[in-house]
Chain A
Amino acid sequence: MKALLAQTRAEVTMTLRRGETLLLTLGIPLLLLVFFSEVRILPTPGIASVDLVTPGILALAIMSTSMVSLGIATGFERGYGVLERLGVTPLGRGRLLAAKMLAIVAIEVLQALCIVAVGLLLGWHPTGGLTGGLVAAAACLLGSVAFGGLGLAMAGRLRAEVNLAAANGLYLVLLLLGGMVVPLKSLPVGIRSVAEVLPAAALSSTLHEAIGPVSGYTGCWIVLVVWGLGAPLLAVATFRFRGD
């Protein structure tokens, strides 16, 4: 337990000290939240922009931390031989992974608190009450596992620098296609049908349904559950602890 706590503390500390990670996990989501709440670029009749944007920004924050931040850091740790070295200490691979998961949860709770606080300040009216909040938390957890699996699957196979570029590229694609700031129904039908089987749109839709003013598309929970099971399994099956 001492080893797990020490490792979790180290993971959280290192993550929060990386400027680029803070920009990605807190700076960009909060900037987009304020911008799209205040600037009526994509007006939806009868619905305040902040009500529409806040659940999507929560989904973005989860994706930023679980996929991009975790994936890039893990890729470089693999390249530096850190994962290999930790594998021959009593910490072991299991507790290393557990520490990373706990660190991700801690950072996502911090993100959620910041986003909810700023959203409320901007006039957000969450729907769904306590049940909606719990359902949203469950969706975030499932989304976190799905994106974490994707991030680790890339980090475990790609060279650190390639992984960095791939994670950022995928982040941008999923940001645009994920119903996070651009509503899914604004997308052309063909692109939308592709977007709806991706984890980003599934997470933002389940969050919209739980605490937002619009309902998610049919099957968004199924898509999220499939990614939540499939992506970590893919990571487990393909992950390499040794650097290239």
Chain B
Amino acid sequence: MALLGPNGAGKTSTVETLEGLRAPSAGRVRVLGLDPISERSRLVADIGVMLQQGGVYPVMTPDQALRLFAAYYADPLDPADLLERLGLAEVAATPWRRLSGGEQQRLSLALALVGRPRVLFLDEPTAGVDVHGRATIREVIAEQASQGVTILLTTHEMAEAEAVADRVAIIHRGRLAVSGTMDELTSGGVRFGAPAGLDVGNLSAALGATVIETVPGSYAIDADTSGSLVGDLAGWLASRGLSLSDLRSGASLEDAYRAVVGELALAEASVDRGLSGRPATSGRRRRR
């Protein structure tokens, strides 16, 4: 599950509350049926934690840190195998403080995995990681998920959430705004790419459905995919000598995210201005 939200939305606070590092200000928190604070000693054996940053002795090498953490657990993974899997074998003897940001993140992930957790909490696992490192981290996350490990990760990157998550929760100002499967959040509508600045009024009339330009060069049609719609669209563009690119049904996660967060921000702005009534919404079409 990917936890998304703007800066300050409460992603890290949520994760830390689940890990037992922060007491809930209201409500009840259970992880694997256990209270993360009062039953911490039972829970910690089954969870793996990757903090947003730090968490490792700066003087320790990946090899030393993994062997130390392995000693905390009853049936740990082999530290040497983990170093190899996370691409850290070459820097196994380099102190943490001299590792690159990406290597530090991969070591943090290795430390979260060493105890064979049933639940993994990953707070921005690919922040500051290069392309190769990201691929490694995503592969490992996918492997863990396929083995039945529950994973909660926070991220700012929609592409990452789309790549690894089955479910998405979007939070805004400490409240859950939307939660659902990736399909639920990205269904509906048709998206396409074409040169910027199309006459969307004319196109809407031609297609019999509302078309908006979400960002320059990207368009959304408020209709389900059908053969005739696609044919009409292609014909309309062809008659003007324009090319069609990136045609797909459904919104991208980024569109869905922008719609939810933008709508909430707009609603708050309306309340701030003392306006009454629910703000006009066009769901996923709205941009902030």
Residue of A nearest to B71 (CB): A6
A1-31, CB < 8 A from B: 2-3, 5-7, 10, 14, 17-18
Binds B, one of A81-89, A119-127, A146-154, A169-177: A81-89
Q: Majority SS of interface residues in chain A? A: helix
Shortest distance between the CB of A17 and any CB in chain B (Å): 7
Interface range on chain A (Cβ under 8 Å from partner): 20 to 34
Pick the residue among A7, A87, A92, A243 that contacts B68 (CB under 8 A).
A7
State whether the Cβ of B5 lies closer than 8 Å to any Cβ in chain A.
Answer: no
Q: Which among B21, B74, B111 has the greatest number of chain A C-beta atoms within 10 A?
A: B21
Shortest distance between the CB of A59 and any CB in chain B (Å): 29
Count CB-based A-B contacts (< 8 Å): 70
B53-77, CB < 8 A from A: 53-60, 64, 67-69, 71-74
A90 touches B73 (CB 8 A): yes
A90 touches B115 (CB 8 A): yes
State in angstroms the CA–CA spacing of A142 and B173 once bound together: 50
B99-157, CB < 8 A from A: 111, 115
State whether the Cβ of A35 lies closer than 8 Å to any Cβ in chain B.
Answer: no
Q: Which among A7, A17, A82, A85 has the greatest number of chain B C-beta atoms within 10 A?
A: A85
A80 touches B59 (CB 8 A): no
A162-198, CB < 8 A from B: none
Q: Which residues of B contact A7 (CB under 8 A)?
A: 68, 71
State whether the Cβ of B263 lies closer than 8 Å to any Cβ in chain A.
Answer: no
State in angstroms the CA–CA spacing of A81 and B57 once bound together: 9
Shortest distance between the CB of B125 and any CB in chain A (Å): 15
Q: Which among B41, B59, B71 has the greatest number of chain A C-beta atoms within 10 A?
A: B71
Shortest distance between the CB of A201 and any CB in chain B (Å): 35
Pick the residue among A3, A18, A87, A242 that contacts B71 (CB under 8 A).
A3
Q: List 13 A-B contacts (CB under 8 A).
A: A10-B57, A17-B59, A80-B58, A82-B54, A82-B57, A85-B49, A85-B51, A85-B54, A85-B55, A85-B56, A88-B20, A90-B45, A92-B41
B residues at A contact (CB < 8 Å): 19-21, 40-41, 44-45, 47, 49, 51, 53-60, 64, 67-69, 71-74, 111, 115
A residues at B contact (CB < 8 Å): 2-3, 5-7, 10, 14, 17-18, 76-77, 80-82, 84-85, 87-92, 242-243
